[in-house]
Amino acid sequence: MILVVVGSYAAFVSRDNENIKYRDESEDLLRWAAPLTPCIIDRYGQLEYGAVPLLGTDMHGGNIALRISRAILTNLKLAVLGSLWPFLLFGITAGILIGYDQSDIKRIFKERGRIPYRILQQIVDWLVEVLHAMPQLLLLLIAVVVTNKTLENSYTRMLVIMMSLGFISIPKLALTIKDRIGFLESEEFIIAAKASGLSDRQIIFRHILYYDMAGVIVSQITYMMLQSVMIETVVTFLGYGIKSSRYESIGKLIIEYQNDLPIQGAGSPLAIIPLLTLVIISIVGNMVVKVLDEQYA
């Protein structure tokens, strides 16, 4: 929710305000100025009196709050367009295939004379188990190295890394759905639903995934978005992530502000804001995941 709200703010205001600078009375840039400090606002060469924004200015005299919101918007896009869709699409599909033995898919394959459902189920189950057994960090490291050698555009490279994260994380969702379906198949309401004539597709998507597992899936989505933010930050900080001036990201801001951190009396406390943002996202995200897991366990 925090990512969505702040990202939406950035989408509305970034185009009009990204080049605004904040200056002092001598029209020099206000570097690391405290919030609400009286200043001169340089709006595309037009000067007007005003105050420093809520989170202050950075070393370039720019709006820290705006840069943070743009960074979160970038991280949100990377999470949704990169890691989230393969995680949900293939995770749910694989979970249903290996978990529900009597689904309509079985009959469809038989009717069309294609590969028997049981063989497909065993192949998918084997792939999920193999992917689950392999170290995720190793697979992600391979993805980072390969994309760094093959892709020049840093944003595209990070998008591919996020997609790799989504595919690597498929077993987490697929095995959860498999176990839940296996547990619910013998429950009375599922037996009653079958006896009432409901199709297997209706039982899977309406009664199991929607009514019973909606909270679990939302928890998994929250976890995946949190993972995406953390991975982007680490990869970018190590020098393999976003470098283009067209995009902001939390990892990029941490790198940019690291030399101005308030260490041994030097630097500015405002340089901590990107790190603090990352900590807040981590804490809130983990709290949401924990609450959802406890509620729908």
Average pLDDT over residues 46-65: 88
Model confidence, pTM: 0.83
* pLDDT, position 103: 47
* pLDDT, position 71: 92
Bin 37: left if φ > 0, else alpha if -120 < ψ < 50, else beta: beta
> DSSP for 176-194?
HHHHHHHHHTTSHHHHHHH
Rg of the chain in Å (alpha carbons):
24
Contact 47, 41 (CB under 8 A): yes
Full set of structural domains in the chain with CATH: 2-51 (no CATH), 67-295 (1.10.3720.10)
Is the pLDDT at 272 greater than 50? The verdict is: yes
Determine the Cα–Cα distance for residues 245 and 227; give it in Å rounded to an integer.
24
Question: Of the spans 26-30, 147-151, 179-183, which averages the highest pLDDT?
Answer: 147-151
pLDDT digits (tens, 9 = 90+) for 220-246: 888 899 999 999 999 998 888 888 888
* pLDDT, position 194: 75
pLDDT interval class at 219 (50, 70, 90) = confident
Average pLDDT over residues 113-138: 83
